[in-house]
Structure 1
Amino acid sequence: MVYLQKTDSELVQQTTFTLEETCHRFQVIRLWEQPTETFLQTPGLLPFAVLSNTGNKVNTLQEVATAIDNIPDKQMQSSLAASAFILAGLVLEKEVIQRLLRRDIMRESVTYQLLVEEGREEGRKEGRKEGREEGREEAVQLVAVNMLKEGMSIEFVAKVTGLTFEQVQQLQATNSGD
């Protein structure tokens, strides 16, 4: 069992799990208790270094960034940078992380690309939703304006369109010169 962040939960001390007649024993690794050097010596562990027992997380992330920059394999570089970015987000502010880790390297990471694509899709959905809402509002306003032009009362237009009395008055004032 590996715990990434310091917690007061009693579970971080638990090394056994018993269910009916089965008992499982396991080792618990609390990253905040592990020496930072352990993570800085092995490329695959670099992203975890900032979560280790370090006195200065910013300096540790700088060391991680430098170590990642020195890895010759660009694909490994991008994957490690993306992982380091995500894990550092558990303990550091995003501005610090962005300043220290090169985003251009991360762009090649499958994880980074997936997150970007998810963000784009959310943006598209939100944009379509906002567009539909704006279109509905414009259509209701157009109907209200046309009803006013036909001489219908403000009260009737408000009742039929669902607009407030004040909104219909505003539409009447805005479109009275047409």
Structure 2
Amino acid sequence: MSYDNTCKYLAENYPAEFARWLLSSDTSDIEVLKTELNLEPIRADAVTFLQISNQILHLEFQTSPKSTPPLDFRMLDYYTRLKRQYWCDIEQVLIFLQATSSEIVFNTQYVDRKTRHEYRVIRLWEEDPTPLLANPALLPLATLARTDSPQDLLEQVAAAVDMIEERDERQNISACVQVLAGLRFPKNLITQLFREEVMQESVIYQDILQKGLQQGEQRGLQKGEVAVILRLLIRRFGAIEPEIQQQIQSLSITQLDELAEALLDFSSPSDLLNYLVNISPAQPNQ
């Protein structure tokens, strides 16, 4: 999730730089769209939409080519929803961050019988680092660009970060560099070139930390609810099969709340089994 947050932070705080890189557009009249595309299977919080004149730039960053539904269909789905809502030109760019030989990263279209939809794909490990090194907002992406000497490239990025005059921007870009560099470089090399205290003072680090704390609190609350429910069930029906315990442990907090209320009406272990059969699996946190 930290990679998603980092790329989203960069695209939304430096939209003109991304438009210049991807569209060769020098306009500063850009609006970050907080568009509502949250119907399944779309997850609008994982992408960025930039409106530039009468065009929308749809950016999506991926660390893994695996996706449900598949990425090619997702791009078509985004396109049709954006077109319906804004009815303008739409440029879609799918940016893969981490090198892989998967066939998915070489696919640039969705094809299904009479339907064909094309989109752009950028594989960062094949990109020339020169234009990325020349722009402070793109320095984090430069760490993943094409090079015969990865360590030399990271040293170039570190030197470019040090040249950023404004302190807050330097801290935030440095933090983004360190997060994305983690996809390619060992931690000890990153810490040699970048001071940890600079990262900790940045807004992107604080955002990642806050989300981590929230997820930790969520897991703690879930674990506590599971323990209480299992204690109640064991008290009423005796030993609970390990498989049933595992299924209960996999439930979301909302599902656990519902189970805690429903179990008051259970009269036998079969009631519990029937209840668990009829609920859908918990969805992973996004």
TM-score, normalising length: structure 1: 0.62
Alignment correspondent of 2:98 = 5
Task: Please say if 1:88 is aligned against 2:88.
Answer: no
Identity of aligned residues (%): 37
Q: Deviations over 1:39-65 (max 9, x none)?
A: 111111101112111112222111111
Task: Please say if 1:114 is aligned against 2:207.
Answer: yes
C-alpha change, 1:121 and 1:25, in structure 2 (3 Å) is: closer
C-alpha change, 1:21 and 1:93, in structure 2 (3 Å) is: same
Alignment correspondent of 1:74 = 167
Q: CA deviation at 1:104?
A: 2.6
TM-score, normalising length: structure 2: 0.40
Q: Which runs of 5+ in 1 are unaligned?
A: 128-178
C-alpha change, 1:38 and 1:121, in structure 2 (3 Å) is: same
Higher Cα Rg, which structure: 1
Q: CA deviation at 1:66?
A: 1.2
Counterpart of 2:120 in 1: which secondary structure? coil
Q: Which runs of 5+ in 2 are unaligned?
A: 1-93, 221-286
C-alpha change, 1:18 and 1:67, in structure 2 (3 Å) is: same
Alignment correspondent of 1:34 = 127
C-alpha change, 1:69 and 1:10, in structure 2 (3 Å) is: same
- Larger % of helix: which? 1
Q: Deviations over 1:68-91 (max 9, x none)?
A: 111112222122111111111011
Task: Please say if 1:51 is aligned against 2:144.
Answer: yes
Counterpart of 1:51 in 2: which secondary structure? coil
C-alpha change, 1:41 and 1:21, in structure 2 (3 Å) is: same
Q: Deviations over 1:113-141 (max 9, x none)?
A: 133345567788999xxxxxxxxxxxxxx
- Larger % of strand: which? 2
C-alpha change, 1:14 and 1:124, in structure 2 (3 Å) is: closer
> RMSD of the alignment, in Å?
2.5
Equivalent-residue separation in structure 2 for 1:22 and 1:111 (angstroms): 40
Equivalent-residue separation in structure 2 for 1:115 and 1:12 (angstroms): 27
Equivalent-residue separation in structure 1 for 2:172 and 2:112 (angstroms): 38
Moved more, 23-32 or 12-21: 12-21
Counterpart of 1:39 in 2: which secondary structure? helix
